[in-house]
Amino acid sequence: MQNARFPRHGWVGLALIAAAWPLNWFLPGLRTHILFFPLWLGYALTVDALAYRRRGASLLTQNPRAYAMLFVISAPAWWLFEALNLRTQNWHYLGREHFTALQYGVLATFSFSTVMPAVFGAAEWMASFAWVQRFARGPVVRPTPRLLWGAFIGGWLMLAALLLWPRYAFPFLWLAVYFILEPLNAWLGNRTLLEFTARGDWRPVAALWAGVWFTAFFWECWNYYAYPKWVYHVPFVGFLHIFEMPALGYFGYWPFALELFALYHLVAGFFGGKRTDYLTRFLLPE
Average pLDDT over residues 199-208: 96
Residue 2 pLDDT grade (very low, low, confident, very high; cuts 50, 70, 90): low
Return the C-alpha torsion angle 115, 118, 122, 123, nearest 10: 40
Q: Backbone phi, then psi, for 74, in 5-degree steps?
A: -60, -40
Q: Over 60: is that where the pLDDT of 16 sits?
A: yes
Tens of pLDDT, residues 238-274: 899 999 999 999 999 999 999 999 999 999 888 876 6
Please report the DSSP string for 131-166 in residue order: GGGGGGS-------HHHHHHHHHHHHHHHHHHHH-H
Q: Over 80: is that where the pLDDT of 62 sits?
A: yes
Q: Where are the domains of the chain?
A: 8-137+199-283
Q: Over 90: is that where the pLDDT of 122 sits?
A: yes
Model pLDDT, residue 3: 75
How does strand 91-94 pair with strand 241-242?
Answer: unpaired
Residue 30 pLDDT grade (very low, low, confident, very high; cuts 50, 70, 90): very high
Kindly report the pTM of this predicted structure: 0.95
Model pLDDT, residue 270: 86
Return the C-alpha torsion angle 250, 255, 261, 263, nearest 10: -110
Model pLDDT, residue 272: 73
CA distance 85 to 119: 21
CA distance 157 to 160: 5
CA distance 110 to 218: 18
Q: Over 90: is that where the pLDDT of 156 sits?
A: yes
Please report the DSSP string for 212-254 in residue order: HHHHHHHHHHHHHT-SSEEEE--TT---SEETTEEGGGGGGHH
